[in-house]
Structure 1
Amino acid sequence: MKKSVQFATASVLASVLALPVMAQQSELLGIRGLDDRIDDIERDVAEDMARSQDAARFGNPEYRQGFSGSASLGYSGKTGNNESQDLTIGLRLRDAQGAFVQTLGAALDYSESDGNSTKEDVFAIYDANYYFNDRAYGFVMARVQSDGLADRLSADEIAAGTVLSDKVQRDGFLGFGPGYRVVNSNDMTWRVQAGIGVSYLEYGDGSSVTEEAGILSSRFFYQLNDNVFFTNDTDILTSDAALRANNDFGVNFKVTDAISTRVSYLSEYNDSRAIRTDNKLGVAIVFGF
């Protein structure tokens, strides 16, 4: 059972936003810089539009059987008045064997300016799902996020009174549990999953906390008509150290065949922070003509 609303995608964005190829891509005139900036906008809007798409929304996703994957690498280096290096690496591996699907993803983001590291971020996640039928499934999930600069304080952080024990250097979680599709129809789907596991937090001053944790997730989809659908995705991770919760509500609608829009509201809650809640309003619009 699978039905989806078709919206403008990255390929449409590319045709709409891309500047004509010019024989002389002059950096001095700013043409290349503008081209790169438009590419960044195109990517960000495409990612925002794609957030509402869920390959597992209607049941066992129809992944290609066997092993598959993709990898990407980006590097730039600059010398002269300023010296800097930027390196990004992305990796996604998937193995599908019948009803058992495993996915491994990893991303590395490194930046250096005038010989000093300004970013050393690593994020990796392992996700395994076994689909018993169209409604019931089991999952195993592991993730780790690392900030290589969490043991250092910038001048602004020192001025703000930040201490190393406030900065998370490594954040890890390993959990497993069942999942179930409460509603699984063409116009509405809702699935929930809950599990138990272990949470690990290591701070910039070297202290760490390892404890039992629980995770609860909900994925809701409702299609009002052929042009409008709503999504609401919720994740809650709780342990003695902190209660962390994210809720992402979005409305996607196709105004015309040439205009698609997504409006989203993301709330992130963490009761271990001084300001517990962060909210973000997002609007993505794609024009084609």
Structure 2
Amino acid sequence: MTNLIKLGAVSAVALMLAAPAFSQAALVGTEALDDRIDDIQEDVADEFDKSVDADRYGANQFPDGWTGGVSLGFAATSGNTDTADLSVGGRFRYGNGPWNHTFGFGAEFGESDGVKSKEEVFSVYDVNRYFTDRFYVFGLASIEYDRFATNELDAFVGVGPGYRVVATEDATWRVQAGPGVRFTRDQLGNEETEGAGLLSSRVYYKISDTVFLSNDTDVLFSEGSNLATNDIGVNFKVSDKLATRVGYRTEYNSEPLAGYKKSDNTLGVSLVYGF
């Protein structure tokens, strides 16, 4: 299932933990395990931070100038199963008064026992022009290549109005919709260019200082097929030492090729404890 409106989001390469020489040698593989633990903790921390990010509440306008970052990840195993996974992604934002620009990109490649299992490259450009604290106009361009999805290539360009229905310090609800043009090429080589429409909803709610809810929904309408994604997550900060996130993501394609299912569902539960 192709997720058209997807920004690159990839785990950052973890830094090595500093430790005395004798403790590094106390157990074979300690440093490697430390690195993997760092990755897990950083992933969960990032998910939690996304919900408490101040940019999600109040006026949705970026600070003037450039912000952003790039990350790279690689993992490989050998022995009973030989695998290799490489991921790279980044997001850049530029604020200029009422104008907000966002450019994101990502790529993921995977191989298992010499057979490619993942090959995906995507990018998105989103521009918003605010006329009031609530009303804005958006422009969106996205493209995704996925060797293992129904649509090998899926691109969309659209424009339309957006409105922040709720805009408080603790909650926001933003909706936007507009017409556009969609180009697809499926795994059989069939190409299609057609008119399309995009409807998006973004909900962020701060239940308390320790509990946060987010729900992102995107629906793309076109004659060839309809695509829909919904990602809901609840973040709990139990204490300064314990945090967890429960998320559920659904991806739907109304017209998959033979052998492909219409929907994919992913349930994720993450837990971090520190002392």
Question: What are the equivalent positions in structure 2 for 1:181-196 lying under 5 Å apart?
Answer: 181-196=164-179
How far did residue 232 of structure 1 move?
2.3
How far did residue 103 of structure 1 move?
1.6
Question: What are the equivalent positions in structure 2 for 1:73-88 lying under 5 Å apart?
Answer: 73=72, 87-88=86-87
Going from structure 1 to structure 2, the CA distance change for 1:48 and 1:188 (only over 3 Å counts) comes to closer
- The answer (yes or no) to whether the contact 2:162–2:175 under 8 Å persists in 1 is yes
In 2: Cα distance, 1:226 partner to 1:116 partner? 47
Question: What are the equivalent positions in structure 2 for 1:58-97 lying under 5 Å apart?
Answer: 58-63=58-63, 65-73=64-72, 87-97=86-96
Which runs of 5 or more structure 1 residues have no equivalent in the other structure? 1-9, 151-165
How far did residue 43 of structure 1 move?
3.5
In the other structure, the counterpart of 1:31 is: 30
Give the alignment's TM-score, normalised by structure 2.
0.77
In the other structure, the counterpart of 1:218 is: 201
Going from structure 1 to structure 2, the CA distance change for 1:136 and 1:69 (only over 3 Å counts) comes to same
- The answer (yes or no) to whether the contact 2:175–2:200 under 8 Å persists in 1 is yes
In the other structure, the counterpart of 2:125 is: 126
Deviation digits for residues 92-139 of structure 1, max 9, x if unmatched?
333221111112122233456788765442111111111112101111
How far did residue 46 of structure 1 move?
2.8
How far did residue 235 of structure 1 move?
1.3
In the other structure, the counterpart of 2:234 is: 251
In the other structure, the counterpart of 1:46 is: 45
The answer as to 2:162 corresponding to 1:179 is yes
Deviation digits for residues 159-203 of structure 1, max 9, x if unmatched?
xxxxxxx74211111111111111212333211111111111112
In 1: Cα distance, 2:42 partner to 2:72 partner? 16
How far did residue 75 of structure 1 move?
6.4
SS at match of 1:256: coil
The one-letter code sitting in structure 2 at the alignment partner of 1:124 is S
Larger radius of gyration: 1
For CA contacts below 8 A with separation 6 or more, give which structure has more relative contact order.
2
In the other structure, the counterpart of 2:269 is: 283
How far did residue 76 of structure 1 move?
7.8
Q: Which moved more, 1:240-249 or 1:276-285?
A: 276-285
Give the alignment's TM-score, normalised by structure 1.
0.74
Which runs of 5 or more structure 2 residues have no equivalent in the other structure? 1-10
Pairs aligned (count): 257
Percent of pairs identical after alignment? 45
